[in-house]
Amino acid sequence: MHSTKEKNDNNRDDLLLRMGLNDNKAGMEGLDKEKINKIIMEATRGSKFYGNELKKEKQVNQRIENMMQQKAQITSQQLRKAQLQSTSNYYARRFGVRAAMPGFIAKRLCPQLTIVPPNFDKYQAVSREVKEILADYDPNFMAMSLDEAYLNITKHLQERQNWPEDKRKYFIKTGNSLENDKPGEEVNKVSEQERSIPPLLFNDIPPDLHPQGNPFQANSEEQNNPQILQNAIVFGTSAEEAVKEIRFRIEQKTTLTASAGIAPNTMLAKVCSDKNKPNGQYQILPNREAVMDFIKDLPIRKVSGIGKVTEKMLKALGIITCTELYQQRALLSLLFSETSWHHFLHISLGLGSTLLARDGDRKSMSVERTFSEMSKAEEQYSLCQELCSELAQDLQKEGLKGRTVTIKLKNVNFEVKTRASTVSSVVSTAEEIFAIAKDLLRTEIDADFPHPLRLRLMGVRLSSFSNEEDKKQQQRSIIGFLQAGNQALSATGHMLEKTDKDQFLKPLEMSQKKSFFDKKRSERKWTQQDTFKCEAVDTQSLQTSDSFQVLKKMNENLETSENSNKSQIFTCPICFREQGSISLEAFNKHVDACLDGPSINEDRKMFSCSHASSTEVNRKENVHHSFSLHEKQDYETHQKHSGINSVDCAELVETKGNPPKAESVGALSDKHSKEECAVFPRESFNTEQHYQNSFSTVSLEDMGSSQQESPQPYLPEVIITHALVCPICNLEQKTSDLTLFNMHVDICLNKGMIQELRKDSLANQPTKSTKSTDTSGQVQKTATKTKRPGMYSSSKKVKPNSPRHTLDIFFK
DNA sequence: GCGGATCAC
DNA sequence: TATGGTGATCCGC
């Protein structure tokens, strides 16, 4: 049914194509030949584009078909297992939102400008002005592009609570006087004020929500709607009001409107900001119900990252909304890569980044150009040279040098090719780049000889830039080399060499072939080493976009520092302020202060289900000790409760409708569900009550105040356990070494996995799976190569239709 | 590392 | 109506 329109479109395109060609042949009497030719040309040109589109469409359809075939081969048993895994995986990551800070705002400024950019300078100027305003609310705001920015206004809101009215008062200007937009300053233009018209700002507010309108609204947010005076507006202290203020100021200063979204994370904020385009705003309150309510019927296509193709693929699986995305998570875990699946799961749960990553290092730089058909080789070479020059200029502006040159060619049929070559040392000049690009181009020209390349686009790209670490490392090595005497050199030479190597081997490269958890382990080791060397938390590494990563790193660093038992210089991953040389304890206190108030509220609400019990409680005690430990606890907790205190209500419904049998829960959890665990205080509070409490207590407005007080009245008592108790075997471990402890937990965990694997009679494992066999074999000896049950053994995509599909092997 | 593909802006 | 340019990332190889 969904394809009816598409079919029509396709038919029409086919028709167009054929008509064009037939016209050419048959000729048409009585018509202007010139005109016909033109029409034919256009039709032909068009047909090439559409032809390519059709081709791409077919490819996508093929992908979908493959996917469906794979789906058909999934047994119900596999699905049940995946169901279990997908939930536990999620639990393993739940703490990722620990750093959740409410009050993120995505601002989308003047989208209409992108449509009409007649004057780029002005565009930039406006963008700057705008940005000046934004800095008042979050100096660390992240500008995504000229017309889009993310702000974290949490801090602003805290301060704003105590602001006098004057500071939130803005005068309405007419005309285009842009002289000042500071609050509270008098404008001596009475006549203008009298003529002033209210800004368009409140278009998005339904009439019944206007300040004087709705009694309910007035009741709860009495002071939070702007009071429109004769010539001024006083904005309230809430997030909504602050954002209205921002939009008001933008409109006043630039005469352009902006839309905004207020949400607990950037992903949601972005979706929100689209909700009331182009001149409105939308807020999702930072509590789980609000988020879930918003997410419920949200078409996945609305979410950044889900494009046309992904939409179509998921649609083929009957997934259109986020709810459906969540419901199908088990299936998706079997059909998609881990990365994709995590992304899906995050979307379906309304999770997103809560950190504004700094502008990461650029990965590549390129120049490309479209033109009318070019078939002469000489022209192509000279164009290539030109592009290389342009690129070299751009590179010079940023002082970049790279090792990989890529050319991009699009022929008149819109088929795109890229050809790359990586050299051993960095290049940056036009000549250097052209020397490489030329060869690539020549290869392509030669390949088609004697036919010329009929190009409509050419591009040149440089990547594999030498990063800061490389530079530092080089420096360090050189300095070390220069400084070290012969004696020292011979003594440390060996070690240095090894260290250098490891330093260059970043986690991903290092463990490409390893399992997900192997990889994580490698990362940790790598980070430890790195931290050891630097003796400080690497700020850069903390500035990743993913709170999960950040927290993990933070933890790893802490873990390391704990081991080394030294006072160090820490940088708080939340506020990004350097904390000087303080003790770990003091640093933890600081991080707590940064995290606790809003984030705990946020976190708890995001994840506590009204039936959930103890899972949240154990976070605080361990968050600064070991995240890897924490994962296991989460996992274990999930296992223990056998999905009953499940992640959210969707899960709950499922569970209710289909009571879990031991079989569906799986051997591992069945085993563990019998165990008690001292680490988890069970039912130490009534979650229902907690939920109500936090719901009524916490809103953006009073987040700030709650943060300033140390105790959180509605928080359940948090049991702090310093002894390391294995969450699996429930035995206190006589070690304070977290590495050892983690090893122990791994072994405990893998007992379960091994059992499970046995149950699945792995005896007939194909030779392809030696990796798995080896790993599980080693598991019993050493914990360093363990895998958590239920995870893919490969970090890479589980290839559809591949006989090497790890899960196939597992379940065969 | 390469090449194709997808996605965002 | 005709279909851009830049950059990032993922995935399979």
Residue A215, pLDDT score: 30
Query: Quick one: A225 and A337 in the same domain?
Result: no
Q: Integer distance in angstroms from CA A343 to C1' C9?
A: 13
Condensed to tens digits (0 to 9), the pLDDT of residues A563-597 reads 333 333 333 333 334 444 444 444 334 333 433 33
Residue A143, pLDDT score: 83
Burial of A603 (C-beta count, 10 Å sphere; 0-12/13-18/19+): buried
Residue A38, pLDDT score: 55
Lowest-confidence pick of A167-176, A362-371, A499-508, A785-794: A785-794
- Per 3-state DSSP, what percentage of chain A is helix, strand, and coil (rounded to 5)? 60, 10, 30
Q: Integer distance in angstroms from CA A736 to C1' B1?
A: 42
Q: Integer distance in angstroms from CA A462 to C1' B2?
A: 14
Query: Quick one: A339 and A375 in the same domain?
Result: no
Query: Quick one: A223 and A167 in the same domain?
Result: yes
Q: How far apart are CA A594 and CA A591, in angstroms?
A: 5
Query: In A179-270, which ranges are E strands?
Result: 227-228, 232-234, 258-263
Query: Quick one: A241 and A150 in the same domain?
Result: yes
A530 vs A201, higher pLDDT: A201
Give, as ranges, the nucleotides of chain C with any atom within 7 Å of a protein CB: 1-13
Q: How far apart are CA A457 and CA A442, in angstroms?
A: 16
Query: Quick one: A205 and A305 in the same domain?
Result: no
Residue range of the domain that includes A439: 364-470
Using the C1' atom of nucleotide C2, identify the protein residue whose alpha carbon is closest: A46
- Please report, rounded to a whole number, the percentage of residues in chain A having pLDDT higher than 90: 29
Residue A432, pLDDT score: 98
pLDDT of residue A416 exceeding 60, the answer is: yes
Query: Quick one: A68 and A154 in the same domain?
Result: no
Query: Quick one: A371 and A425 in the same domain?
Result: yes
Q: Integer distance in angstroms from CA A513 to C1' C7?
A: 27
Domain-embedded: residue A775: no
Smallest CA–C1' separation from A342, nucleotide: C10
A422, A423, A424, A503: which is closest to A469 by C-alpha? Answer: A503
Smallest CA–C1' separation from A463, nucleotide: C7
Reported confidence tier of residue A446, pLDDT bands at 50, 70, 90: very high
Q: Integer distance in angstroms from CA A478 to C1' B5?
A: 42
Query: Quick one: A22 and A103 in the same domain?
Result: yes
Reported confidence tier of residue A8, pLDDT bands at 50, 70, 90: very low
**CA triplet A518, A521, A527: central angle to 5 degrees?**
140
Lowest-confidence pick of A99-113, A231-245, A451-465, A597-611: A597-611
Q: How far apart are CA A293 and CA A605, in angstroms?
A: 13
Domain-embedded: residue A530: no
Q: Whole-prediction pTM value?
A: 0.57
A221, A236, A223: which is closest to A169 by C-alpha? Answer: A236
Q: Integer distance in angstroms from CA A188 to C1' C10?
A: 58
Reported confidence tier of residue A39, pLDDT bands at 50, 70, 90: low
Domain-embedded: residue A688: no
Q: Integer distance in angstroms from CA A82 to C1' C4?
A: 43
Domain-embedded: residue A165: yes
**CA triplet A669, A675, A681: central angle to 5 degrees?**
110
Query: Quick one: A376 and A320 in the same domain?
Result: no
Smallest CA–C1' separation from A42, nucleotide: C2
Query: Quick one: A144 and A257 in the same domain?
Result: yes
pLDDT of residue A560 exceeding 60, the answer is: no
Condensed to tens digits (0 to 9), the pLDDT of residues A638-666 reads 332 322 222 222 222 222 223 222 222 22
Residues A258, A178: contact at Cβ < 8 Å? no
Query: Quick one: A7 and A106 in the same domain?
Result: yes
A512 vs A481, higher pLDDT: A481
Condensed to tens digits (0 to 9), the pLDDT of residues A737-749 reads 443 434 433 333 3
Query: Quick one: A204 and A297 in the same domain?
Result: no
Across all residues in chain A, what is the average pLDDT? Answer: 58
Residue A474, pLDDT score: 62
Residue linked to tokens 């933008």: A250
A795 vs A370, higher pLDDT: A370
Domain-embedded: residue A397: yes
CATH number, domain with residue A108? 1.10.150.810
CATH number, domain with residue A380? 3.30.1490.100
Residues A161, A154: contact at Cβ < 8 Å? no
Beta partners for residue A145, in sequence order: A148
- The mean pLDDT of A523-544, rounded to a whole number, is 32
A176 vs A137, higher pLDDT: A137
pLDDT of residue A727 exceeding 50, the answer is: no
Residue A413, pLDDT score: 94
pLDDT of residue A312 exceeding 70, the answer is: yes
Reported confidence tier of residue A46, pLDDT bands at 50, 70, 90: low
Residue A37, pLDDT score: 55
- The mean pLDDT of A712-724, rounded to a whole number, is 23
Residues A509, A464: contact at Cβ < 8 Å? no
Q: Integer distance in angstroms from CA A702 to C1' C13?
A: 54
Domain-embedded: residue A330: yes
Q: How far apart are CA A226 and CA A207, in angstroms?
A: 14
- The mean pLDDT of A90-116, rounded to a whole number, is 40
A99 vs A39, higher pLDDT: A39
Lowest-confidence pick of A424-433, A553-562, A607-616: A607-616
Domain-embedded: residue A485: no
Q: Integer distance in angstroms from CA A383 to C1' C6?
A: 19
- The mean pLDDT of A417-426, rounded to a whole number, is 97
The domain boundary, picked from A213, A243, A262, lies at A262
Q: Which of A85-99, A281-295, A347-361, A705-719 has the highest mean pLDDT?
A: A281-295
Using the C1' atom of nucleotide C5, identify the protein residue whose alpha carbon is closest: A368
Condensed to tens digits (0 to 9), the pLDDT of residues A752-793 reads 332 332 333 333 333 333 333 333 323 222 222 222 222 223
Q: How far apart are CA A582 and CA A545, in angstroms?
A: 26
- The mean pLDDT of A112-132, rounded to a whole number, is 56
Q: How far apart are CA A356 and CA A546, in angstroms?
A: 9
Residue linked to tokens 């950019």: A117
Footprint of strand B on the protein (CB under 7 A): A 56, 59-60, 63, 114, 144-145, 147-148, 270, 303-311, 403-404, 406, 416-422, 464
- The mean pLDDT of A293-313, rounded to a whole number, is 96
Give, as ranges, the nucleotides of chain B with any atom within 7 Å of a protein CB: 1-9
Residue A258, pLDDT score: 85
Condensed to tens digits (0 to 9), the pLDDT of residues A185-216 reads 443 333 333 333 344 444 444 333 333 333 32
Reported confidence tier of residue A277, pLDDT bands at 50, 70, 90: confident
Q: Integer distance in angstroms from CA A341 to C1' C9?
A: 15
Domain-embedded: residue A591: no
Lowest-confidence pick of A46-55, A71-80, A141-150, A416-425: A141-150
Residue A476, pLDDT score: 64
Using the C1' atom of nucleotide B9, identify the protein residue whose alpha carbon is closest: A145
Footprint of strand C on the protein (CB under 7 A): A 42, 45-46, 49-50, 336-340, 360, 362-370, 394, 456-457, 459, 461, 463, 796-800, 802
Condensed to tens digits (0 to 9), the pLDDT of residues A26-37 reads 333 334 555 555
What's the domain count of chain A? 3
Q: How far apart are CA A166 and CA A235, in angstroms?
A: 10
The domain boundary, picked from A211, A244, A262, lies at A262
Smallest CA–C1' separation from A337, nucleotide: C11
- Please report, rounded to a whole number, the percentage of residues in chain A having pLDDT higher than 70: 40
Lowest-confidence pick of A417-426, A546-555, A604-613: A604-613
Burial of A106 (C-beta count, 10 Å sphere; 0-12/13-18/19+): buried
Residue A224, pLDDT score: 57
